[in-house]
Amino acid sequence: MDKNQRIVIVGAGVFGLGTALTLKEEGYTSVTVLDRSMPPVPDGSSNDISRVIRFDYGDAVYAAIAKEAYDLWKTPEFSDAFYTTPCLWVCQEGSPEQPVQPLAQEYSAKTKRVLTEMGQPWHAVTSVEAAKERFPELTGRLATPGFDGFYNTSAGWADAGKAMSRLASRCIQAGVSFLTGPNGQVTEFEKTTDGTIKRVCTADGGKVEGDKFIVATGAWTASLVPAWNSMLAAGQIVGYLRLTPEEAVQLKNMPIYFNFSTGFFCFPPHDGTGYLKVAVHGFGYTRATEKANLSSPPANSVAARANFVPAEGLKRMEAGLKDLFPQLASRGFARTGLCWYNDTPAGDFIVDYHPEHKNLFIATGGSGHAFKFLPVIGKYIVRGFERNLSRDLLDKWKFPTQFRERFQSEVFGGDGSRGGPERRELTSEERNTFDAALAASARQSKI
């Protein structure tokens, strides 16, 4: 492949920056990244105070690549943003008040089987009492009724915002060019009659030409390129509880807690902010656009995530917190937010050329589990870009065309790791509240 061709990357998240850095390291001379914000992008799924780093997967392919990434997180290049801590995975039975993922036990069993086949240890925890004996910081009833779980000490979490800032700095040092703000916000692609992309158009009326274009725009991808029902933007709920310094010390040795059945998970305290962060890895909320069958986050540039989650989502986070720490559950969250996943039907990444545009490469579909691959994701995307991936990965990450005539709700089941109630559309009232919260965030940023 000609390394002097002009490569234009749209999107400055994990996929985009990882690709940009790898291209420069491998000798590509012209690499430009476009985004409406400098990374870490405020409302991108790659930006937050914490992300789970683990290789506990029910899929052997992702487990192996995640283990490769996990080993690199511990090296000096990445370790200043990485914190090792055990990860406790649990399942429970459901009830009418607490709908759960019925396949949670099956996914948990597959994960343990994959770890065993990899030769990696895991530790069974078969009762609430055993969990509290191992992790005395957990004071609630945990995942009941029907508790079952295991933990892995080879795990941890990354300060996502810090890691992305470091990655952006490395890109700049390597010679990657950046266009941000209105002149980096891509609105459309100009193409020739045979589908070849000639240039991108930006919000300020500008145009950026290139020879190859890589779209790595996460949850915004389907609003930019023909997606053929291969991806779905879904907002996932996140909450931040302010701890006292004494509480932060008391909980500093807690594990990451992840409930496969409900999707609820919780991180250890974050030193820099004093927050205890909780979230739900569930089926989420869609936000319909004027285009048929298309969900997307707001397109306008923002300074921060809106302080909003639907009322039922807030109750879900409060219930999960109560199961862990009853003494904290009534305090209320200092702030909340929606983290936008770009989901694919089975949770697989899309790393492939678009079927209709021979010079348009798609790198997206993080599906809520991509951040942990930050140290290695660029290598795999560039191999896909050069068509040098192994055959199994070329097939696994192929652009899906088989869902083109099917409704989204029919095909987006995930990989079995999601928990909680079914995905639904934000109501008009929720959208209005969400938009008002975005506007308030914008005003606050200007003060």
Do 258 and 150 meet the contact criterion of CB atoms below 8 Å apart? no
pLDDT string in tens for the chain (447-residue length): 899 999 999 999 999 999 999 999 999 999 999 999 999 999 999 999 999 999 999 999 999 999 999 999 999 999 999 999 999 999 999 776 677 788 899 999 999 999 999 999 999 999 999 999 999 999 999 999 999 999 999 999 999 999 999 999 999 999 999 999 999 999 999 999 999 999 999 999 999 999 999 999 999 999 999 999 999 999 999 999 999 999 999 999 999 999 999 999 999 999 999 999 999 999 999 999 988 779 999 998 888 899 999 999 999 999 999 999 999 999 999 999 999 999 999 999 999 999 999 999 999 999 999 999 999 999 999 999 999 999 999 999 999 999 887 766 667 888 999 998 999 999 999 999 999 999 888 776 554
Q: Look-up: residue for tokens 């969250």?
A: 333
Do 13 and 44 meet the contact criterion of CB atoms below 8 Å apart? yes
Do 321 and 329 meet the contact criterion of CB atoms below 8 Å apart? yes
Return the bridge partners of 336, or none: 239
pLDDT of residue 446: 55
pTM: 0.96
- Strand-by-strand arrangement of the 177-179 sheet: 177-179, 30-34, 6-10, 212-215, 357-364, 350-354
pLDDT of residue 13: 98
First-to-last CA distance in the chain? 49
Amino acid at 82: F
Q: Which CATH class is domain 6-446?
A: alpha beta
Domain ranges of the chain: 6-446
Nearest to 6 by CA among 24, 35, 34, 29: 29
pLDDT of residue 430: 98
pLDDT of residue 301: 82
